[in-house]
Amino acid sequence: MRIGIVTETYAPDVNGVALTVQSLARGMVRRGHSIDLIRPIHPSTPPLADAGMDVLAVEGAAVPRYAGLRFGLPSRFRIERRWRADRPDAVYVATEGPLGWSAVSAARRLGIPVATGFHTRFDFYVGHYGFGALTPFVRHYLTRFHKRAQATLVPTGQLAGELNELGLHDVRVLRRGVDTQRFHPDRRNDDLRASWGADRDTPVLLCVGRVAPEKNLDVAIDAYRALARRVPQARCVIVGDGPGRPALEAAHPDVIFAGTRRGDDLAAHYASADLFVFPSLTETFGNVVLEAMASGIPVVAYAEAAAREFIRNGQNGIRVAPGNEGGLVERAAVLGADSHARIAMGNAARASVAGLSSESVVADFESIMQSLAEEHVHERSTAVAA
């Protein structure tokens, strides 16, 4: 098959959507398919193509008040010309920005089956940036966007149910995997821990992700403070960057802000910690939860998205009722101070995700795209026969 993939974020961007889409694109190439990747121009990196991929880089711009994220400008006519010349069998549109809307419009005009991905709760985000009044309008836009596609792909059954309630007609679950070879307990690095001021017995609380208001990192830091009252030498490491970093770094000089980390370096940061705290309530999934579990460290999170799907409470991590900040802070502090419980839960966390495979996710994606293409061929044949 030839699959069109359209996304407003892609490597070298560091976020769950970019990494997930890259994994799908590369996985489909490995399975013998050709990929037509359409993405915005990245300001610092030329759009190099992997073997088996054709890349169209379109103009983009930074998201207002969030320079680390970009969106693609409308490009419907350019996409139509491209797809008329080399028609995909099916299209996957991963993001809902102007580029994504253009791609769905182009696919519909050309009669190409299209699936969309619901990766980000922008309807939740706007409230964290002072635009809460826009929430119903953003939700209406998202609903309208996804209704224009033949199918919408989501990472959890929970989210599928929520979108069904909003009136989306064909929501299919495409579960996520994790690279269990890269994210592994063997990546633990005593020298890295020493650079944090931590010895073998020092509990290190870790957060990984965008440093932004919607991530609720104040709650994670509160958990660190509660842990430090029990174990004064405890340390807190935050990996990532974003608009909230300057204020948090100024307010908490004892917290280690490690910035953006990638690849094996990121894996070492996970494995060298002892406890992962994830207080976000705006996730559709949260890849970092699986990465932490694969690294052998227990996760304390709200019972949403990936945590709800994969954490068995009290066995391989801790789930807390959504919005119960005091409960999350207390449970994280108690677990952080109990080395035996941490180790046992970390081992169980690793075991519970060891069977997850990125290749199985790609195979499911392949099956979905194949079914869309076949359904479209059948519908056209039926229409001609009639």
Confidence of residue 41 (pLDDT cuts 50, 70, 90): confident
CB 170 within 8 A of CB 162: no
Residue 196 has pLDDT above 60, yes or no: yes
Q: Out of 37-41, 196-200, 278-282, 354-358, which region has the weakest mean confidence (pLDDT)?
A: 354-358
Higher per-residue pLDDT: 89 or 59: 89
Across the range 356-380, mean pLDDT stands at 86
pLDDT at 162: 86
Same domain, 56 and 148: yes
Q: For a pLDDT cut of 90, what percent of the chain falls above it?
A: 69
Residue 37 has pLDDT above 70, yes or no: yes
CATH of the domain at 278: 3.40.50.2000
Same domain, 45 and 128: yes
pLDDT at 46: 61
Same domain, 87 and 131: yes
Residue 72, phi then psi, degrees to nearest 5: -90, 145
Q: For the stretch 75-86, what's the b/e string if a residue is b when 16 or more beta carbons lie within 10 angstroms of its beta carbon?
A: bbeebbebbeee
pLDDT at 384: 46
Same domain, 74 and 107: yes
What the block records as the tokens of 104 is: 């769905």
* One-character DSSP codes across 294-312: HTT--EEEESSHHHHHH--
Residue 74 DSSP class = P
pLDDT at 134: 67
Residue 230 has pLDDT above 90, yes or no: yes
What is the overall mean pLDDT for the chain?
90
Please report the sign of the dihedral spanned by the C-alpha atoms of residue 343, residue 348, residue 354, residue 358: negative
Listed in sequence order, the residues at least 6 apart from 255 whose beta carbon sits closer than 8 Å to its beta carbon are 221, 224, 236, 237, 238, 248, 249
Query: How many domains are contained in the chain?
Result: 2
Residues counted in the chain: 386
Same domain, 318 and 367: no
Q: For the stretch 254-282, what's the b/e string if a residue is b when 16 or more beta carbons lie within 10 angstroms of its beta carbon?
A: ebbbbebbeeeebbbbbbbbbbbbbbbbb
pLDDT at 85: 97
Q: Out of 63-67, 146-150, 333-337, which region has the weakest mean confidence (pLDDT)?
A: 63-67
C-alpha separations of 195 from 191, 201, 251, 258 in Å: 6, 14, 21, 11
For residue 59, what are the domain limits? Answer: 2-177+357-385
pLDDT at 108: 96
Confidence of residue 358 (pLDDT cuts 50, 70, 90): confident
Q: Out of 39-53, 77-91, 371-385, which region has the weakest mean confidence (pLDDT)?
A: 371-385
127-179 pLDDT tens trace: 555 556 667 888 888 899 999 999 999 988 888 998 898 888 899 999 888 99
Q: Out of 68-72, 105-109, 192-196, 264-268, which region has the weakest mean confidence (pLDDT)?
A: 68-72
Same domain, 92 and 157: yes
pLDDT at 158: 85
Same domain, 10 and 53: yes
Higher per-residue pLDDT: 34 or 118: 34
Same domain, 163 and 281: no
336-345 pLDDT tens trace: 999 999 999 9
Q: Which of 253, 215, 255 is nearest to 235 (CA)?
A: 255
pLDDT at 78: 96
What the block records as the tokens of 21 is: 């889409």
pLDDT at 239: 98
What the block records as the tokens of 270 is: 């996970």
Same domain, 340 and 363: no
pLDDT at 128: 52
pLDDT at 378: 53
Residue 385 has pLDDT above 90, yes or no: no
232-270 pLDDT tens trace: 999 999 999 999 999 999 999 999 999 999 999 999 999
Same domain, 250 and 314: yes
pLDDT at 295: 98
Same domain, 48 and 103: yes
Same domain, 361 and 340: no
